[in-house]
């Protein structure tokens, strides 16, 4: 039951997307070297989820749309500075720093999955949608693409850690459980919010 001080923020599609993406990324990362079929399926799932999120970021509900949480550099800096004050700025949806992290993660995931598809196509199995581009399966380009893919996956993992740290710091400073909010879709409402 929703209390008077809570508002519905994230719709069910955003929440299912979020936790499905978390699961698919973990599966893809853990199966990297040992279970190629599962790794590839997780990669396809990730790219499908990211493409859905890009569409939902344009056509979705209010707090799902990029126009609600992607703000300019000044807003991000102002928000980050406010974290060091006694009263940090509170946002009902994503804060400006979180908004940029969402976009950065989506871009990193797109690049990671794209290089994964290219690696899969250029590899010795020459499989996937880019298999026809593999002139010399398993050659130099295959190895180079695999190195780039792994570097992007590691960068994405680092960004995930920064994202999780930001969630906990922001939640602590604002006295709210953001993990629970991403499960229930509800957040406490502060009257000064937009």
Residue 1 lies in a domain: no
User: What pTM does this model have?
Assistant: 0.86
Of 74, 146, 70, 145, the closest CA to residue 106 belongs to 70
Q: Give the span between the Cα atoms of 164 and 157, in whole angstroms.
A: 11
Q: Per the structure, how many domains does the chain have?
A: 1
Can you list the alpha helix ranges (DSSP code H) found in 60-95?
66-69, 73-82
Residue 131 lies in a domain: yes
Are the beta carbons of 108 and 157 closer than 8 angstroms? no
Q: What is the pLDDT of residues 97-128, one digit of tens each?
A: 999 999 999 999 999 999 988 887 656 565 66
Q: What is the pLDDT of residues 6-49, one digit of tens each?
A: 888 889 999 999 999 999 999 999 998 788 889 999 999 999 99
Q: Give the span between the Cα atoms of 141 and 118, in whole angstroms.
A: 9
Residue 194 lies in a domain: no
Residue 55 lies in a domain: yes
Q: What is the CATH number of the domain that holds 15?
A: 1.20.950
Residue 193 lies in a domain: no
- Residue whose structure tokens are 């991000």: 76
Q: How many CB atoms lie within 10 A of CB 74?
A: 9
Instruction: Print the domain residue range for 114.
Output: 6-188
**Angle separating helix axes 140-174 and 96-122, nearest 10 degrees:** 160
Residue 88 lies in a domain: yes
């Amino acid at each position: 039951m929703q209390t008077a001080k809570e508002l519905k923020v994230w719709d069910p599609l955003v929440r299912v997307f979020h936790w499905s993406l978390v699961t698919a990324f973990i599966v893809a990362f853990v199966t990297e070297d040992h279970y190629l079929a599962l790794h590839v399926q997780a990669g396809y799932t990730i790219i499908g989820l990211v493409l859905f999120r890009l569409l939902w970021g344009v056509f979705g509900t209010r707090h799902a749309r990029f126009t609600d949480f992607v703000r300019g550099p000044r807003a991000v800096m102002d928000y980050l500075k406010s974290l060091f004050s006694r009263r940090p700025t509170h946002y009902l949806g994503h804060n400006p720093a979180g908004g940029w992290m969402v976009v950065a993660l989506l871009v990193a995931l797109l690049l990671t999955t794209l290089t994964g598809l290219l690696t899969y196509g250029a590899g010795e199995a020459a499989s996937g949608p880019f298999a026809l581009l593999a002139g010399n399966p398993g050659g130099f380009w295959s190895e180079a693409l695999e190195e780039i893919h792994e570097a992007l996956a590691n960068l994405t993992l680092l960004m995930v850690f920064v994202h999780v740290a930001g969630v906990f710091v922001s939640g602590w400073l604002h006295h709210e459980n953001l993990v629970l909010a991403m499960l229930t879709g509800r957040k406490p409402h502060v009257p000064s919010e937009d």
